[in-house]
Protein backbone atom coordinates (compact mmCIF):
# COMPACT_ATOMS: atom_id res chain seq x y z
CA UNK A 1 0.00 0.00 0.00
CA UNK A 2 1.35 3.41 -0.96
CA UNK A 3 1.93 5.62 2.03
CA UNK A 4 0.19 8.99 2.08
CA UNK A 5 2.01 12.17 3.02
CA UNK A 6 0.38 15.21 4.60
CA UNK A 7 0.46 18.39 2.49
CA UNK A 8 -1.01 21.81 3.07
CA UNK A 9 -2.58 23.22 -0.10
CA UNK A 10 -3.11 26.98 -0.19
CA UNK A 11 -4.35 29.01 -3.12
CA UNK A 12 -5.16 32.57 -4.10
CA UNK A 13 -7.14 32.83 -7.33
CA UNK A 14 -8.18 36.22 -8.68
CA UNK A 15 -11.18 35.40 -10.86
CA UNK A 16 -14.34 33.93 -9.20
CA UNK A 17 -15.08 31.20 -11.75
CA UNK A 18 -11.45 29.97 -11.70
CA UNK A 19 -11.54 30.16 -7.90
CA UNK A 20 -14.57 27.83 -7.76
CA UNK A 21 -12.90 25.35 -10.12
CA UNK A 22 -9.61 25.34 -8.23
CA UNK A 23 -11.43 24.98 -4.89
CA UNK A 24 -13.35 22.00 -6.30
CA UNK A 25 -10.11 20.31 -7.41
CA UNK A 26 -8.33 20.87 -4.09
CA UNK A 27 -11.33 19.80 -1.99
CA UNK A 28 -11.48 16.49 -3.89
CA UNK A 29 -8.11 15.63 -2.34
CA UNK A 30 -8.62 17.32 1.04
CA UNK A 31 -9.44 15.80 4.41
CA UNK A 32 -10.00 19.13 6.11
CA UNK A 33 -9.45 22.84 5.88
CA UNK A 34 -11.26 26.09 5.37
CA UNK A 35 -11.51 28.97 2.92
CA UNK A 36 -8.37 28.60 0.77
CA UNK A 37 -6.12 26.36 2.91
CA UNK A 38 -6.64 22.59 3.07
CA UNK A 39 -4.97 19.51 4.56
CA UNK A 40 -4.40 16.81 1.94
CA UNK A 41 -3.01 13.31 2.55
CA UNK A 42 -1.63 12.40 -0.87
CA UNK A 43 0.10 9.51 -2.57
CA UNK A 44 2.73 10.50 -5.17
CA UNK A 45 0.24 9.90 -8.00
CA UNK A 46 -2.48 11.95 -6.28
CA UNK A 47 0.00 14.79 -5.78
CA UNK A 48 0.80 14.78 -9.50
CA UNK A 49 -2.90 14.65 -10.38
CA UNK A 50 -3.80 17.55 -8.08
CA UNK A 51 -0.97 19.70 -9.48
CA UNK A 52 -1.78 18.86 -13.10
CA UNK A 53 -5.48 19.68 -12.68
CA UNK A 54 -4.75 22.92 -10.84
CA UNK A 55 -2.08 23.94 -13.38
CA UNK A 56 -4.66 23.58 -16.16
CA UNK A 57 -7.02 25.98 -14.35
CA UNK A 58 -4.91 28.78 -12.92
CA UNK A 59 -3.66 31.86 -14.70
CA UNK A 60 0.03 31.88 -13.83
CA UNK A 61 0.15 35.68 -14.15
CA UNK A 62 -2.65 36.30 -11.62
CA UNK A 63 -3.14 33.21 -9.44
CA UNK A 64 -1.08 31.03 -7.17
CA UNK A 65 -1.29 27.62 -5.59
CA UNK A 66 1.23 26.39 -3.03
CA UNK A 67 1.56 22.79 -1.89
CA UNK A 68 3.64 22.37 1.26
CA UNK A 69 4.80 18.96 2.48
CA UNK A 70 4.44 18.64 6.24
CA UNK A 71 7.41 16.88 7.81
CA UNK A 72 6.25 13.75 9.66
CA UNK A 73 8.43 14.46 12.67
CA UNK A 74 7.20 18.03 13.03
CA UNK A 75 4.85 18.62 15.93
CA UNK A 76 2.00 20.96 15.03
CA UNK A 77 1.21 23.93 17.22
CA UNK A 78 -2.55 24.03 17.67
CA UNK A 79 -4.60 26.86 19.16
CA UNK A 80 -8.29 27.15 19.91
CA UNK A 81 -10.50 24.28 18.77
CA UNK A 82 -7.92 22.98 16.27
CA UNK A 83 -7.34 19.23 16.10
CA UNK A 84 -4.31 17.41 14.68
CA UNK A 85 -4.56 16.22 11.07
CA UNK A 86 -5.14 12.47 10.88
CA UNK A 87 -4.97 10.24 7.82
CA UNK A 88 -8.44 8.63 7.79
CA UNK A 89 -8.88 4.86 7.54
CA UNK A 90 -10.71 5.32 4.22
CA UNK A 91 -11.71 8.05 1.76
CA UNK A 92 -15.19 8.35 0.31
CA UNK A 93 -15.17 9.15 -3.39
CA UNK A 94 -18.64 9.98 -4.58
Q: What is the DSSP letter of 92?
A: -
Question: For residue 93, what pLDDT is reported?
Answer: 62
Question: For residue 91, what pLDDT is reported?
Answer: 59
pTM: 0.79
Picking from 63, 69, 10, the residue whose alpha carbon sits closest to that of residue 37 is: 10
Give whole-number Cα distances, 9 to 1, 56, in Å: 23, 16
Residue 60 belongs to domain spanning: 5-69
**Is position 83 within any domain?**
no
**Is position 86 within any domain?**
no
* Residues of the chain below pLDDT 70: 1, 82, 85-94
pLDDT per residue as tens digits for the range 23-49: 999 999 998 888 899 999 999 999 999
**Is position 35 within any domain?**
yes
Question: For residue 49, what pLDDT is reported?
Answer: 96
CATH classification at residue 30: 3.30.70.240
Question: For residue 58, what pLDDT is reported?
Answer: 94
Amino acid sequence: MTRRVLYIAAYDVAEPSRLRKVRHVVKRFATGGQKSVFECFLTPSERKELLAEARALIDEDEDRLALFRVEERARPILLGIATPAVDPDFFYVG
